[in-house]
Amino acid sequence: MTPVTALRGVGEALAGRLRAIGVESIQDLLFLLPLRYEDRTRTFALGELRPGMRVAVEGEVQLAEVAFRGRRQLLCRIADGSGQLTLRFFHFSADQQRSLVRGLRLRCFGEVRRSPSGLEMVHPEYRRVDAAATATPDHLTPVYPATEGLTQGRLRQLVGAALERLDQLELEELVPARLLSAGSPPSLREALRYLHRPPPEASLEALMARRHPAHRRLAYEELLAHHLSLKVLRRRIRDEGGWPLPAQGDLESRLRASLPFSLTAAQARALAEIDADLARPTPMLRLVQGDVGCGKTLVAALAATRALAARRQVALMAPTELLAEQHAQNFRRWFEPLGVAVELLAGRRSAAARRAALAGAHSGSAPILIGTHALFQEGVEFAALALVIVDEQHRFGVHQRLSLGEKGAAGGRRPHQLIMTATPIPRTLAMTAYADLDVSVIDELPPGRTPVRTVVTPDSRREEVVQRIRSACLEGRQAYWVCPLIDESEDLPYQAAEETAASLAEALTEIRVGLVHGRMPAAAKERAMARFKAGELQLLVATTVIEVGVDVPNATLMVIENAERMGLAQLHQLRGRVGRGAHASSCVLMYRAPLSALARERLAVMRDTNDGFEVARRDLELRGPGELLGTRQTGLAQLRVADLVRDADLLPRVQSAADTLLTEFPDRVEPLVRRWVGGGERYARVG
């Protein structure tokens, strides 16, 4: 890789700014693709201009003056015989003002706006036009992702310098021609040259939509590189060996016998796949995905009995303290009657409790340790860690998950990894984003779980909703009322949880109302949740802290206020808090008009389906993979060219090509990953 400092005029200061946008080498500059394009290949007469146009114009300076209209500004009027235009600058220098002399001819580019004095451009790009001036560009003008201290002009100049060196750079074609798309895709060099310098006749629509063959050529290679990075990671972990955990003892059968129900067929199938993995001398790398309430945690607990029976330890990592505490409660309920101790390691624990948990992990006297990301921090040492369970994988980066696995690495062996997520992910996306994992799906709810009826209603019908709460509670049921905010905000005029709780208590004098929000002391929050679970409170007003970790079968009504402000995944998680018992349950999504088109579509999805996989599919369509997977996921959420929704049709070929490269062209894999994943060498480091 040739460092960017090899380019003329690039010193340490400029190199530092380029690093901020991920550019360290000349090759990186070439892969810094434009966000959009502007057509400056033709100039428009000033008389042709209309508000909203982004165009190039030429004109002669008539006057330039500093005016004080609310704030100091430089105004320059240009004309071309067909009309005139004002150029307005709020940030300018004395030199700039002096240079704009009457009679000077300028070429400008910017967005035309209407002002009280006629049409104007605010802070247009401009340069003088004279005999020595360069001609009108012969290609569309790229607009790059920029950062402070890096202007578009400077970036275009640097990319231009990189393009001049394109033929001399080591830019090997790493993907064999037969593995590229059908037809005659452009070469890597041709694709890069085209995307930085599209000809005037290029389809702006195809370029902006990133559907041009040049984009598709690069998107395919980028997806292939990310997919390979995870495949290589998986192979390295598997090569290290794991702890074989064959079925032994009666701990699993004792746990099953203590349950008041039998496993569903889907739970039994997932557990059989896990058991087969655990019995092998290679580390399990398995993702269990299933809808809210499908019983993933119980499957993980039954898997844990294998490690416990072999006198080895289990660590369970959750993304929040609330969820870690809920897991600890469940595991204690299941395991303590069987004589197995469960320790919790979370930030809010006292120093003495933390010391005891750390000592138990180190000595092996704590066979099950549950916590947040604190589990993989320095100072946490395990005596014999054989199974790592990670809940809500998408909230953690791959490197975080692996660093917990490092804790148990000993004698050339790694602990097994079982990953759980209640965010169902469409199959093609899962195969790409989780290429380092095998996938088990629990697609069946336990008996007794009733589908939740979802109603969408404007907040103008709030009184009717309050009456529904009264009826449900007087019939002996319980209800949730979810508010997205805790305090009133001038910027977001929505009801706050505390005010809502007070007004509902006033309106429903015969109902016992409780309040839970994230800023309450832990003890107060736990006390309120425990009272609700015990039936002492009939209505629980809460912020989204109840998204996870609350299981109250008697709760049959969920009201979500300002539902239009939430994403589909969050709405689906919240809805999953009801419908956990034998009684019919409802979810009321209250919105504040007017609704955007996107919000209307989201609420319609919630009304039309209870299927988490369908919700996830629509979520992916509406929001893209970044939010669905979490921005700290494998790096796929930060793809430079590809898009997992737009380019989903490439994924089956990507998976097939990855297998071919690994078997037939292994020497090309690492350079390909390095080219596209960049900082993703972390896979190699932690893997």
Q: 566 and 473, same structural domain?
A: yes
> Is residue 673 in a domain?
no
Distance (Å, rounded) from C-alpha 288 to C-alpha 292?
12
Provide the pLDDT for residue 292. Answer: 72
Q: 472 and 514, same structural domain?
A: yes
> Is residue 447 in a domain?
no
**Rounded to 5°, angle at Cα 326 from 320 and 330:** 145
Q: 278 and 414, same structural domain?
A: yes
For residue 107, what is the domain's CATH number? 2.40.50.140
Neighbours of 645 (CB within 10 A): 14
Locate 234 and state its tokens. Answer: 């998986």
> Is residue 637 in a domain?
no
Of the residues 87, 115, 136, the one at which a domain ends = 136
Provide the pLDDT for residue 623. Answer: 62
Locate 236 and state its tokens. Answer: 């390295």
Neighbours of 54 (CB within 10 A): 14
Distance (Å, rounded) from C-alpha 439 to C-alpha 432?
12
Q: 458 and 438, same structural domain?
A: no
> Is residue 425 in a domain?
yes
> Is residue 158 in a domain?
yes
Of the residues 84, 105, 136, the one at which a domain ends = 136
Q: 158 and 112, same structural domain?
A: no
> Is residue 624 in a domain?
no
How is residue 632 annotated by DSSP? T
Strands 438-442 and 368-371 come out as unpaired
Q: 153 and 31, same structural domain?
A: yes
What is the rounded end-to-end Cα distance, in angstroms, of the chain? 24
Distance (Å, rounded) from C-alpha 458 to C-alpha 420?
35
Three-state SS sequence of 284-333: CEEEEEECCCCCHHHHHHHHHHHHHHCCCEEEEECCCHHHHHHHHHHHHH
Provide the pLDDT for residue 314. Answer: 95
Q: 94 and 202, same structural domain?
A: no
Of the residues 136, 154, 175, the one at which a domain ends = 136
Provide the pLDDT for residue 132. Answer: 57
| pLDDT, mean of each 10-residue run, the chain (687 residues) | 87 88 88 89 93 94 91 95 95 92 94 93 90 72 84 90 88 89 83 94 88 92 89 80 86 92 93 96 89 86 96 90 84 95 83 88 92 80 91 61 65 85 69 76 77 93 96 95 61 60 93 87 80 92 67 91 86 86 91 90 92 79 55 50 82 90 94 77 36
Q: Structural domain tally of the chain?
A: 4
Q: 434 and 461, same structural domain?
A: no
For residue 491, what is the domain's CATH number? 3.40.50.300
DSSP for 48-99, written as a single string: G--TT-EEEEEEEEEEEEEEESSSEEEEEEEE-SS-EEEEEESS--HHHHHH
> Is residue 649 in a domain?
no
Starting at the edge strand found earlier in the chain, the sheet holding 342-345 runs: 342-345, 368-371, 313-317, 385-391, 416-421, 285-290, 438-442
Q: 303 and 253, same structural domain?
A: yes
> Is residue 553 in a domain?
yes
Distance (Å, rounded) from C-alpha 572 to C-alpha 603?
11
Amino acid identity of 412?
A: G
Distance (Å, rounded) from C-alpha 156 to C-alpha 646?
27
Distance (Å, rounded) from C-alpha 433 to C-alpha 665?
23
Q: 341 and 367, same structural domain?
A: yes
Provide the pLDDT for residue 685. Answer: 34
Query: Domain range holding 199?
Result: 4-37+145-209
Do the beta carbons of residue 125 and residue 94 sit within 8 Å? no
Distance (Å, rounded) from C-alpha 209 to C-alpha 579?
42
Strands 452-458 and 585-591 come out as parallel
Q: 510 and 399, same structural domain?
A: no
Q: 201 and 69, same structural domain?
A: no
